[in-house]
Structure 1
Amino acid sequence: MPDNRKIVVVLKGYPRLSETFIAQELLGLEQAGFDLTLVALRRPTDKKRHPVHDEIRAPVHYLPEYLHEEPLRVFRSWLKARKLPGFKAAFSAFLADLRRDFTRNRFRRLGQAAVLAAEWPQGGAWLHAHFIHTPASVARYASLMTGTPWTCSAHAKDIWTSESWELASKLESTRWTVTCTHTGFDHLRKLAGGKDNVHLSYHGLDLTRFAPFEGARPPHDGSNAAETVTILSVGRAVEKKGYDVLLRALALLPGSLHWRFEHIGSGPEIATLKALASELGIEARIAWRGALDQKDVLDAYRRSDIFALACRITADGDRDGLPNVLVEASSQRLVCVSTAISGVPELLRDGENGLLVPPDNPQELAYALERLIIAPGLRARLADATEERVRTHFDNKVSIRQLTALFEQEWRQT
């Protein structure tokens, strides 16, 4: 069992509907006996929250999202932080970063780190950042100011949209970093410069929340207007999710097939996607359900016939790692079709337990969807196989044990 030393966890925002994997991990660490304090760079914007958020006992401390919004708090923190023994080292690191990236964001992260250091949670003995971009910048500066060791969880966008020099400097200063896909692991290991402090740890699911679906899906094949095939997708409406590609693929399906599409999630591109659906003439077959909590999402998995996610790599390098929604859908014996990028092939194997297509290819995606719509037997075979893979390889108890061992090993050495 871990001792009672407190871990201060730096998050970009909390709570967030789109980051259930983080919430599940936080709860798992608490259940393993760790004492946590959460520090968020942003206040919540979602109107709903998942049940798991209500089960997490850790207090949440919000830093000023923008320094000018709380000038007195920032000024007082700055005066206090300047007296810390490690402030000079933190400021030197900030200047080195600033010379390579002169942006307002750099000043904001230093200011947030000063507030964190000045308002340090009582008993805080360790820093852990979720995401290796901005939260890790705050954690790194605060670590230097306070002399507190820090570690990091790296995920997807934070890895692939960060400059290599910045990732390398953070990997050099962390005691260890974990990441959730083999592609991210290989990339970070190369940047670590021979330092053996990067670990692969799949998030997995809390399978007690995603119990096996015991119902029977009807063998609809798209031939009957009264028995439409439901295609579901869950995700934020952002470029990397490829929803424009998915809509174009749906529009390419044969007119004789009867299907409907449901989207769960919010995001900045919703209005654009609705306009595209209208332009493509498929808006009557689509239900835009907005952001929902985990209970409603679970119900949608169980009511659907196919899950689709057209992940892509954007021009700036942004991409998913292994989208948690694919693991969730698979746990409910729901067949998935997605793209062969990042960590997706680490879950789905084309033709064995799902279908994979190239990214940004509506024609191939339409063909895969058609195959699944007209063949309920194929859907069932692939879905059975992917559920088996999730329940044997993606249980989050494994990742919690890995993190527990990493923390315990470090604490024995300090």
Structure 2
Amino acid sequence: MLASMKARRIAIVVKGYPRLSETFIAQEILALEQRGLDLEIWSLRHPTERAVHPMHKAIKAPVTYLPEYLYEEPLRVLRGGVWSLRQKGFGRAMRAFWGDLKRDFTANRVRRLGQAFVMAREMPEDVGHLHVHYLHTPASVVRYAALLTGRTWTFSAHAKDIWTTPDWEKREKIAEALWGVTCTAQGAGNLQSLSRPERVSLVYHGLDLSRFPSPPEGRPARNGVNPRDPVRIVSVGRAVAKKGYGDLIKALAALPQDLHWRFAHVGGGELLASLKKQAQEAGIADRVAFLGAKAQPDIISLLREADLFVLPSKEARSGDRDGLPNVIMEAASQGLAIVATDFAGIPEFIRDDLEGRLVPPGDWEALSNAVNLLARDPERRKSLGDAAFSRLRREFSMEGGIDVLEARLRAVTQSPTREPERV
């Protein structure tokens, strides 16, 4: 056990690395590393995308991949299990595991225990603290590994992990972690209601504006009148239910015939084929381009060339929802007018008719109307885009959040292990 170990190094644990859709995690790791924290990365999955962001290439922390499926590396899992069996924390880890398994009897629980065995055995001795992104499955691995080894752990919760994880599980994990942060007021309120409020803090990701060019000067004043120079509408996000792209296809199809426009979507996702079919059936496939996943430089170029950014987030049937999507702040970094939904963490940054236009989630008719009005009004687009950029620079830069995380993580590198709370 490492009960008295001081965390000279910190392990950052993620579900997958690198991932194009998680620029906020890469941004945070790089910033903490540049401030002198000694980090290493542990990932539950291997990457599934070929492209990477420049941030990923700049990160120097070594990466260790756990077996995504236990049967793929049986000897590694067996060694981890045998090693764990001899540890003083084995009983505590197994009690936590059995408590979880009784309430959620799934193969996923067994997989997380096996990954924790491997992590606990292979973690270098000079790593004394674990910080995990996402409070659902990655935090289960970290929780079991921490119990096995006596290490401390903390968490960053985001969106899906908050809204789809049972309250009992969140409550127990929050009690065992030293502290946690999350990136929206809604999410913070949910987690604080399950613990002492001071255990979970609101820390916005913000945006590292040093990685982005200044907004372009003199965007063309397109108004949809010229068919040879249509209004350019863009969105960036995974093609999944919570992004609301089905509503956007309906909204685009309902735009008046005299408005000339083109739409480009960037992102992968399970619903991509369905959205392409929907666009075809709606008769707008010739004006819609699905570009797939792109690295950040390509996304920035697209944002600079666009006139309007749209993201119609809503709650999925599974309960999954967005936090404050980084892509909205990225659009604001380029002074781009934004149409989004009054949902999740979005209105914490975009206020209706001040920094953008917000419509009710799931209301494709209101979405279509907002897009139509802004597409025809380049002066209003410029006013909203300027206001969004100003608020981003003033209140949502990365530095404030990184200051908090740096201070807290430096504090745990100087603190011995704390006993978890009882729940």
In the aligned structure 1, how far is the partner of 2:90 from the partner of 2:223? 65
Q: C-alpha displacement at 1:413, in angstroms?
A: 3.6
Alignment of 1:204-283 (within 5 A): 204-283=206-285
Deviations along 1:147-196, one digit per CA (max 9) or x if unpaired, are 0000000000011000000000000000000000000000000011x252
Aligned amino acid, residue 125 of structure 1: G
In the aligned structure 2, how far is the partner of 1:278 from the partner of 1:222? 22
Alignment of 1:11-410 (within 5 A): 11-192=14-195, 194=196, 196-410=198-412
In the aligned structure 2, how far is the partner of 1:270 from the partner of 1:317? 20
Deviations along 1:244-296, one digit per CA (max 9) or x if unpaired, are 10000000100110000000111111111000000000000011111111100
Deviates more, 1:396-405 or 1:211-220: 211-220
In the aligned structure 2, how far is the partner of 1:387 from the partner of 1:243? 25
Q: Is the 8 A contact 2:7 2:413 kept in 1?
A: no
RMSD (Å) for aligned C-alpha atoms: 1.1
In the aligned structure 2, how far is the partner of 1:17 from the partner of 1:408? 28
Aligned amino acid, residue 338 of structure 1: A
Q: Is the 8 A contact 1:357 1:364 kept in 2?
A: yes
In the aligned structure 1, how far is the partner of 2:344 from the partner of 2:376? 29
SS for the counterpart of 2:29 is helix
Q: Is the 8 A contact 1:306 1:334 kept in 2?
A: yes
In the aligned structure 2, how far is the partner of 1:178 from the partner of 1:397? 15
In the aligned structure 2, how far is the partner of 1:98 from the partner of 1:385? 49
In the aligned structure 2, how far is the partner of 1:216 from the partner of 1:108? 54
SS for the counterpart of 1:266 is coil
User: Where has structure 1 moved over 2 Å in runs of 4 or more?
Assistant: 408-414
SS for the counterpart of 1:392 is helix
> What TM-score do you get using the length of structure 1 for normalisation?
0.98
Q: C-alpha displacement at 1:408, in angstroms?
A: 2.6
Q: Is the 8 A contact 1:4 1:35 kept in 2?
A: no
In the aligned structure 2, how far is the partner of 1:246 from the partner of 1:195? 37
SS for the counterpart of 1:17 is coil
In the aligned structure 1, how far is the partner of 2:19 from the partner of 2:332? 22
Count, aligned residues: 411
In the aligned structure 2, how far is the partner of 1:149 from the partner of 1:68? 29
Q: C-alpha displacement at 1:4, in angstroms?
A: 7.9
Deviations along 1:276-327, one digit per CA (max 9) or x if unpaired, are 0000000000111111111000000100000001101012210000000000
Aligned amino acid, residue 108 of structure 1: R
In the aligned structure 2, how far is the partner of 1:294 from the partner of 1:408? 30
In the aligned structure 1, how far is the partner of 2:216 from the partner of 2:52? 26
Aligned amino acid, residue 174 of structure 1: A
Instruction: Name the structure 1 match of 2:419.
Output: none
Aligned amino acid, residue 221 of structure 2: P
Q: C-alpha displacement at 1:27, in angstroms?
A: 0.3
Q: Is the 8 A contact 2:7 2:129 kept in 1?
A: no
Q: Is the 8 A contact 1:5 1:34 kept in 2?
A: no
SS for the counterpart of 2:211 is coil
SS for the counterpart of 1:199 is strand
In the aligned structure 2, how far is the partner of 1:402 from the partner of 1:173? 21
Distance 1:271 1:38, change over 3 A: same
SS for the counterpart of 1:248 is helix
> What TM-score do you get using the length of structure 2 for normalisation?
0.96
SS for the counterpart of 2:87 is coil
Aligned amino acid, residue 404 of structure 2: Q
Distance 1:299 1:311, change over 3 A: same
In the aligned structure 1, how far is the partner of 2:238 from the partner of 2:316? 15
In the aligned structure 1, how far is the partner of 2:295 from the partner of 2:74? 35
Percent identity of equivalent pairs: 50
Q: C-alpha displacement at 1:130, in angstroms?
A: 0.4
Distance 1:83 1:195, change over 3 A: farther
Aligned amino acid, residue 15 of structure 2: K
Deviates more, 1:3-12 or 1:44-53: 3-12
Q: Is the 8 A contact 1:305 1:335 kept in 2?
A: yes
Deviates more, 1:239-248 or 1:390-399: 390-399
Aligned amino acid, residue 124 of structure 1: V
Unaligned runs of 5+ in 1: none
In the aligned structure 2, how far is the partner of 1:116 from the partner of 1:411? 20
Aligned amino acid, residue 308 of structure 1: V
Aligned amino acid, residue 36 of structure 2: G
Deviations along 1:7-46, one digit per CA (max 9) or x if unpaired, are 0111100000000000000001101111111000000001
In the aligned structure 2, how far is the partner of 1:214 from the partner of 1:313? 34
In the aligned structure 1, how far is the partner of 2:123 from the partner of 2:286? 53
In the aligned structure 2, how far is the partner of 1:37 from the partner of 1:19? 17
